[in-house]
Each structure stands twice: as C-alpha cells, then as structure tokens.
Amino acid sequence: MGWCLCKCRPLSTFSSLLYSSKPSLPFPSTFLPSSSIKSSFFSCSISSSSALATGTFTWEDVFRVSQSTEEEEEEDNNSSYLHGYFHKVQLCNRGSGKQSEFLPFVIEGQTVGFVHAGFVENFKSFSDVFVYIKDNSNGGSVGECVSLHPMLKTAEERTSAVTYVIKCLGEKHIPGIRNELYPVVSSFGSPVLFSLERAAAPYFGIKAYGIHMNGYVEIDGQKHLWVGKRSNTKQTYPGMLDHLVAGGLPHGINCKENVAKECEEEAGIPRSISIRAKPVSAVSYMDIDGYRYKRDVLFCYDLKLPENFIPKNEDGEVESFKLIPIRQVAEVIRKTQFFKPNCSLVIIDFLFRHGYISPENFGYLDLLRSLRIGECS
C-alpha cells in the first residue's frame, strides 16, 4: 500500500504581536503572563495599526518599546520579570498535545520523523515510494508507521523518489519549495539516509538543523547587538526582526562553513572576520501547527565585530540593520512579538551566557531548561 502527502495548511502568521493566551508549557503557574505585563506593552503608546499586523511595525516602534520604565526596572528581580521570555518559548513549542495525530516516519528501523495521519490518503498515488507498515522500533511495541519502499535502498534512490513526489505535489500542498535539500538523519552527525526538500521538512517532521549568529559590538564596555529587519517580500515572517546572520543547515555543508557563507550573503561579513565566530550553545524546540511538525535544533554562534563595521545585505532578504544596546533588545523580546520566533530563543540564550539574566531572576532554571525542550540530538 502506498502513500503521499495531502493538502497542507499555509504557514500561520501572528494575528497579533502582543501577548496571546497563557502558555501551555509545563511551567509553574507563577510564570504565566500576567495582566501587568500585558498592560506594560500598551503603555509604550504604539498604535494598533502599526503594532498588531505582522511585520508592519517600524524601527521607531522598536526603539520606543525598547525603553524600560522605572516600574519595569523595579520588576527585574520579582516573579513577573521573566514572563515575557517564557511566552517566547511557548510560541516555538505549540501543539504538544497533538503528537498522537502523527505517525512515525521510519527508515532502516530508525524513527527519523513524524507524518500527520491526515496525509496518508494522498500517499496512495505513490505506492512505489511510500509504504504503510507495522512499527516495531520502540521496544517491541507494534503500531502503524510510514516508511519508504524497501526497493529504495540507497540514499540517492530515496532522495530521487521523494523529490519526484514533492514536485508532483507542488506548491498547492507544500508551499515555499526552494529546491534546497536537508539531510534526513536520526541524530546530528549520523549517516544521511536521504535528502529532503527544505520546505517539506516540517511535513515529514524530520529534525532540521540551522545556525544563528549573534553579531555584537562593545561600545564603552556595553554590548550592542546588530539586528536585521526582514524584507517585506520574504515568504516567511516578512518585515519581522531577525539575527544579523542565520540560516538552515543544508546537505553537504558543515556548520562552520555555513556560518561563513551566510555571513557573506546576509551581512557582507568577509571570511577574515567571520572565521572568528565562536560556537557557544544550541537551542531546540518542537512546534506542531496543523500538518507541520517542526523539530529544530539551532546551533548558536557569537561574533564580536569591530565598532566601525557596518553590515550590508547581499541577497535581498534583509531590509535594513540597526545596532541596538543588548538591554534594549531584551526589552523588545520581553514585551513584543517583533522578532521571528526562533530568534527570540537564541537571544534569550545570549542573555543567559552574558549575564543579563541571572539566578536572582525568579524562574531562572526553568527558563534555562525551556530553551532545549525539543530533542537536542
């Protein structure tokens, strides 16, 4: 019996850049966003027309909301200060209660992904590619899973067959096809079982890896972060705030080389400077949205840049850059949804590592653990 992908839902966008309903993460109730934090955003006097529509805010709005009030400064060590950060973790880890709707995607006895049960009806048209079998991979338990036809024995054969299916499905079912391949592995560094179109990765629930780089400058002993504003023509998260450099990790390139490549393309950073970028951490998350199951691991890099360096986007994906004091960036993260969601996690990690979030902040350890809710392997 064969299977193929069925119609997917388009990538959802934020209907509001303010706080939504309380987080569903397994944190103590004392960490849930309070009415006082919600009201703190409104006190920044940003009009609803500019703040509520995704990506329609301006740099002026960003700088306005980045200023903390005396009341907020007094809040730093009390129980509500970290609420805004917890909320950003929640935005990247939705839908945990819907995991049962997904079937394991098993290759060579290894679970490499998860496919929504709603996809299986369309798999029938590709019986020479997808099969539906019993799953004995979890300690002898028997259940249903999706796999590839046993005649597809090599990574090259699997890649070719699955690529054909994705081309047949097209933009109608998998929007944003980029003709960029991601490696399908059971864990980072393990053998590549086949390669999959990047846009299809969340529909197969495979682990996807990426690099995010914090490009910062020290001025008079204070750290400032270079922040990019995504182009309004970007298919995903148009007009939202982003890292100086970030990108997925495609097949056939390692993290170090990918950092150098993205540095040049996204910010005009020459290799003589980008080679100084330091691998410092990793964050992970699991996000379910309709038929999409994102299981992402982001490798975090820090790069201290010269004070006189000015980034220049080379690939048209960034509208503009601003150098912002890190404490003000932290306020933007806490109060708004201006940043592309996964960027918030990487910046929160930066705040931990550079001492801007301390054990004196109530909820410190819970927030630290939450940055790796996804399977970090």
For the beta carbon of residue 67, count every other beta carbon within 10 angstroms. Answer: 10
For residue 22, pLDDT beyond 70 = no
**Is the same domain home to 316 and 233?**
yes
**Is the same domain home to 189 and 219?**
no
Task: Give the three-state DSSP class for 359.
Answer: coil
Domain boundary pick from 203, 223, 247: 203
Task: Give the three-state DSSP class for 115.
Answer: strand
Instruction: Say which CATH number the domain at 112 has.
Output: 3.30.750.160
Say what the pLDDT of residue 121 is.
74
Q: Which domain holds residue 226?
A: 79-94+209-283+296-371
> What single-letter DSSP state applies at residue 33?
P
Say what the pLDDT of residue 231 is.
94
Domains in the chain: how many in total? 2
**Is the same domain home to 234 and 322?**
yes
Tokens (6 digits) for 236: 């995903």
**Is the same domain home to 265 and 344?**
yes
Task: Give the three-state DSSP class for 288.
Answer: strand
For residue 204, pLDDT beyond 80 = yes
For residue 331, pLDDT beyond 60 = yes
For residue 168, pLDDT beyond 60 = yes
Instruction: Say which CATH number the domain at 214 has.
Output: 3.90.79.10
> How high does pLDDT run on average in the chain?
84
Say what the pLDDT of residue 235 is.
85
**Is the same domain home to 89 and 149?**
no
The CA–CA distances, whole Å, from 205 to 200, 244, 294, 317 equal: 9, 27, 6, 26
Say what the pLDDT of residue 172 is.
87
Of all residues in the chain, the percent with pLDDT exceeding 70 is 80
pTM here is 0.84
Domain boundary pick from 203, 237, 272: 203
The answer to whether position 65 is within a domain reads: no
Work out the pLDDT band at 371, boundaries 50, 70, 90: very high
